Amino acid sequence: MSDRIRRRIDVLCRELERHNRLYYLEDAPELSDADYDRLFRELHELEATHPELRRPDSPALRVGAPPDDGFAEVHHQVPMLSLDNAMNNEDMRAFDERIRRELGDEEVAVTYVGEPKLDGAGVELIYERGVLRVGATRGDGRVGEDVTANLRKSASIPLSLKTDSPARVSVRGEVTLPIARFVRLNRARLARGQEPFANPRNAAAGALRQLHDHDVHRLRALEFRAYALGEGVPTGVTTQSEILEQLAAWGFHVGDDWEICADADAVIAFHEKTLAGRNDRAIETDGTVIKVDRLDQQAELGSLSRSPRWAIAFKFPAQREHTIVEDIFASVGRTGALTPVAKLQPIRVGGVTVSNASLHNQDEVDRKDVRVGDTVVIQRAGDVIPQVVNVVTKKRPKRTRRFRLPKRCPVCQSETVRLEGEAVTRCPNLDCPAQLKNNLRHLGSRAALDVEGLGEKLIDQLVEQRLVVRLSDVFALSEKLLLELERMGAKSVENLLASIERAKHTTLSRFLVALGIQHVGGTVADLLSERFGDLDPLLAADRELLEAIEGVGPTIAEAVVTFFADERNAAEVTRLRELGGGWEIQTPRVASEGPLAGKTFVLTGSLADLTRAEAKARIQDSGGKVTASVSKKTDYVVAGTDPGSKLAKAREFKLEVIDEARLIELLESPAEH
């Protein structure tokens, strides 16, 4: 009996780890989420009833919490050193000259390995007989903390090594949160009124040191990249490049962006290439690490107490700079949210000129206490909007005042409100010109009604001259009126009116997007239009009915119901329908011609260059169709970073999965596919 169970446990462990690998490392899942969960539960139950049969490398160990009384100490057998820095090419050449001098004579051939320097938290993983035993933080380099329970949850950390290994191996690498995850995490934190993390490194380090396992999703998303071995260099491995290959063979993420560099010139070229690609990476990097390739030469060069003499961190130019806050003003968004924005003395940060930085909300302003006249540290983390990291209080001029968001909307003077428990201060006036302008911009955007010619300048004039006081007025604009506006000639008026006319024939989904309901973008609008087919049943729907739709949670349901319950909104919807002369509801606004005619797409995960709405609009403009869920009829599944279960389903149906670059190729190619 127990033999049969043991065998079943073995099979389950092997299978689950294989599926973990397929899903996370190879991006080629074979199982649906539900089937995976079934296997997982079976293993978990068997282990619970037969604890003596639990294997030390059981995938079920990925669940479980760290000890309640803090983290135990881990003594690193081989110290985890830091690195000396090179700030520019001269420093780099000096490093190369020193290496060659110390190795005997300056003519000696030294080959280097160049790797991206990952901006995360250093960790060490100890494997005994191929099984993960301990995962520890770097700490002070000699003693770190035992964060095994948390590290096990990271999907990119193998619980056992894929191929043979020495009896004891210590793998070193960096743990970080991919930039896209980091951005989402910060957005969610701000919405909850929590302080955002300054960078992905802090977000990762914070996750690792969670004692109570609050944020399992963040732990799961942590990305571990391996780059060194402390102990356990296999016999026959004689160079750093072979170590990297060995690590990849064991199942670690190593990345394919390292290179062997024959000399200092090659190192500099590698560094420049890596710098140029900095903002395209999924993971934050802050430089390159240059290492002498041959391990015997490394040993000959030796180490100082703090850093090895055979490696150097070649830093990227700072993404952090100091500048002065010239003003702080409140900007009013589409939903009436007042965002405090710091107007900065323009400054170049990481190759981009920054002149504004969002301070997010009143709580953030209070926390950082940013004042007009302050010198502040500005940072761009990855491709994130510039942030004010902190104030240099020493440099604060006399007689500054704390900033408070205004009690009245700066645009329409309505009294602003901040609901209890919310971080956001809002202008409650739905007719506020600032909201109206933003709503008009939104209505005309490609993802909504795609009104060509409804640009910023025109919107300003329409709203300021009160020619448009509510959204639906756009559909009542006359030629005569438009001709009187600045920069509106006969041709542009004709084009605009034609485009407005076209926009009247749209789909329910685009119509819903155009209304600007909070939380209702293209994907949710598709779900709603698929579920209800027409506007009237949607108007009649209550929260419960809405929440029953997969992909619609309580927040969205609440937003939809609240929107339509507002009399003014309801009146607007009626008027929009009347003026639109009847919406061609359910007739997808699909171009019948174009390179993607007849093709059906599903989008999953976040894309780098296009927003989802843009991707969708462009596919539709090229004749393609975008649906919310994968079926056998789907032609292409476009997978971005962090794809969801749709990707697993796509693999199940053996559909063609493409990335964003390929999608753009398809959109731009004239040929049939």
Active-site residue set: 117
CB of 482 to ligand IVH, least distance (A): 58
What does the buried/exposed string (b/e) look like for 415-452 if buried means 16 or more CB atoms within 10 Å of the residue's CB?
ebeeeeeebbbbbebeebbbbbbbbbbbbbbbbbbbbe
Cα dihedral 387→393→395→396 (10° resolution): 100
With binding defined as CB under 6 A, does residue 115 bind ligand IVH?
yes
CB of 289 to ligand IVH, least distance (A): 4
CB of 123 to ligand IVH, least distance (A): 8
With binding defined as CB under 6 A, does residue 311 bind ligand IVH?
yes
With binding defined as CB under 6 A, does residue 619 bind ligand IVH?
no
CB of 108 to ligand IVH, least distance (A): 22
Cβ proximity to ligand IVH, 289 vs 557, nearer residue = 289
Tell me which stretch binds ligand IVH (CB under 6 A): 307-315, 594-602, 633-641, 647-655: 307-315
For residues 92 and 95, give the distance between their C-alpha atoms in angstroms, rounded to a whole number.
5
- Contact with ligand IVH (CB under 6 A) among 117, 152, 278, 599: 117
β-pairing verdict for 259-261 and 112-118: antiparallel
Nearest alpha carbon to residue 23 among 652, 607, 608:
652
Nearest alpha carbon to residue 532 among 603, 586, 569, 602:
586
Nearest alpha carbon to residue 585 among 517, 530, 543, 518:
530
Nearest alpha carbon to residue 112 among 131, 132, 93:
93
Cβ proximity to ligand IVH, 228 vs 590, nearer residue = 228
With binding defined as CB under 6 A, does residue 82 bind ligand IVH?
yes
Q: Where are the alpha helices (DSSP H) in 277-378?
A: 295-301, 362-368
CB of 269 to ligand IVH, least distance (A): 18
Cβ proximity to ligand IVH, 122 vs 580, nearer residue = 122
Cβ proximity to ligand IVH, 274 vs 438, nearer residue = 274
- Contact with ligand IVH (CB under 6 A) among 53, 143, 155, 313: 313
Number of residues in contact with ligand IVH, rule: CB under 6 A? 14
Q: Which of residues 170-189 bind ligand IVH (CB under 6 A)?
A: 174
Cβ proximity to ligand IVH, 173 vs 643, nearer residue = 173
* Cβ 178 vs Cβ 282: under 8 Å: yes
β-pairing verdict for 320-332 and 375-379: antiparallel
With binding defined as CB under 6 A, does residue 145 bind ligand IVH?
no
Tell me which stretch binds ligand IVH (CB under 6 A): 78-86, 351-359, 396-404, 550-558: 78-86
3-class DSSP assignment, residue 409: coil
Cβ proximity to ligand IVH, 103 vs 313, nearer residue = 313
Cβ proximity to ligand IVH, 298 vs 622, nearer residue = 298
Q: Which of residues 246-305 bind ligand IVH (CB under 6 A)?
A: 289
Phi and psi, residue 633, nearest 5°: -85, -5
Terminal-to-terminal C-alpha distance of the chain:
56
Instruction: Point out the residue whose Cβ comes nearest to ligand IVH.
Output: 122
With binding defined as CB under 6 A, does residue 321 bind ligand IVH?
no
CB of 118 to ligand IVH, least distance (A): 4
For residues 88 and 274, give the distance between their C-alpha atoms in angstroms, rounded to a whole number.
14
| DSSP symbol at 309 | S
- Altogether, the residues listed in the chain come to a count of 673
Q: Distance between alpha carbon 153 and the CA centroid of its chain, in Å?
A: 19
Q: Between 221 and 240, how does the x/- string for binding to ligand IVH read (CB under 6 A)?
A: ------xx------------
Q: Which residue's structure tokens are 């690998």?
A: 21
Instruction: State which amino acid sits at residue 118.
Output: L
Q: Which of residues 446-485 bind ligand IVH (CB under 6 A)?
A: none
State the angle between helix axes of 179-191 and 200-208 in degrees (0 to 180), rounded to the nearest 10. 80
CB of 606 to ligand IVH, least distance (A): 25
Cβ proximity to ligand IVH, 83 vs 500, nearer residue = 83
With binding defined as CB under 6 A, does residue 152 bind ligand IVH?
no
Under the rule (CB under 6 A), what is the footprint of ligand IVH?
Answer: 81-83, 115, 117-118, 122, 174, 227-228, 289, 308, 311, 313
